[in-house]
Amino acid sequence: MRLLSLLAAAAFTQQVLATNSTLPEQLFLDLRIQDVFDNTTGMNHVEPWATKYIESLRAQRYGDAIWARYHISGDVEDGIVDGSSNMTVLEVIADDAREYRVNEPELYTEALSFYTQTSSEDSHATDVLALLQRIGEEDVTELEKRKTYGISCSKDWLAYEYSCANLLSLMSESKTYIGNTRSVYSYGNCRLRVGPYKGTSTDLTEWTAHAVAKLILEECEYVPACCDYKVVSGYSPKNSGHRKVCLSRKNSGCS
């Protein structure tokens, strides 16, 4: 009996470890529990949202987990996400959802299926998860946008140029594949993110992600009319050969 108990305990421990080190899903719950515990990406995780994210995942309250995920960096004030065009949290989630729906339709369908398993105690099932479901039912032809290949700059989610420059000077440039993670590195208010992982055939090495981010920094930095400092926001759209690369202050999305 004691042996069976030990085996059961060992199996449970392995299950917990696997859960901690695995992305719950690729799109909206793109932080591993271990990422939040160890802060391996350099992304700022604030309380109480870091704890709420972990607790919600473990309780299978996925709407609550998404809500915590979009607050976890501490950049939401009075319901408005800092760095956005005066967007609420739900509006940012919707913006990411439409981008994912167009660019990652299979993963979006998988995410919706995953969220059907949410607990009856999920307090954000009727707003967050319902929103994702509605967007999943929208006409893709109306959501489709022209795809480009190269570097594209944006006037939204502007990060400080010096934060992005420091990010590039500190992050790894190894030939190791990024793998099953979305948040590559953060410094200050600058975040380097990549699109969903679909296997090694389209994966990027840290060296390549660094090189692409450097191009974004060089091509997209500018001084806004209001200020006397440089900012940057841009991305390299995915193509058949690589994942999308995003460099900005945004801590979600990128597909």
In a domain, 58, yes or no: yes
Quote the number of domains for the chain: 2
Which residue reads 């006037």 in tokens? 155
Check: CB of residue 254 under 8 Å from CB of residue 246: yes
The pLDDT tens digits of the residues spanning 193-229 come to 999 998 888 888 898 899 899 889 988 999 988 889 9
Q: Kindly state the percentage of the chain with pLDDT values over 90.
A: 55
80 and 128 in a single domain? The answer is yes
Mean predicted confidence (pLDDT) in 150-170: 93
Range of 89's domain?
Answer: 15-144
Confidence of residue 146 (pLDDT cuts 50, 70, 90): very low
Confidence of residue 24 (pLDDT cuts 50, 70, 90): confident
Confidence of residue 56 (pLDDT cuts 50, 70, 90): very high
In the predicted model, is pLDDT for residue 2 greater than 80? no
195 and 125 in a single domain? The answer is no
Q: Distance between CA 222 and CA 134 in Å, rounded?
A: 37
Which residue reads 């729906």 in tokens? 101
- pTM score of the predicted model: 0.64
Beta bridge partners, 81, equal 76
In a domain, 1, yes or no: no
Q: Distance between CA 20 and CA 159 in Å, rounded?
A: 30
215 and 232 in a single domain? The answer is yes
25 and 129 in a single domain? The answer is yes
Strand, coil or helix: 248: strand
Omega of the bond leading into 237 within 30 degrees of 0 (cis): no
- Which of 36-45, 107-116, 223-232 is predicted with the least confidence, judged by mean pLDDT? 36-45
Instruction: Say which DSSP state 31 is in.
Output: S
In the predicted model, is pLDDT for residue 8 greater than 70? no
For residue 63, CA distances in Å to 104, 208, 252 come to 20, 34, 15
In the predicted model, is pLDDT for residue 3 greater than 70? no
**Residue spans of beta strands (DSSP E) within the chain:** 76-77, 80-81, 152-153, 159-160, 183-187, 190-194, 231-232, 234-236, 245-248
The pLDDT tens digits of the residues spanning 228-246 come to 999 999 998 876 667 899 9
Residue 141 is encoded by which pair of tokens?
């032809």
Query: Considering 79, 112, 144, which residue would you say is the last residue of a domain?
Result: 144
155 and 34 in a single domain? The answer is no
22 and 109 in a single domain? The answer is yes
In a domain, 73, yes or no: yes
Query: Considering 113, 144, 175, which residue would you say is the last residue of a domain?
Result: 144
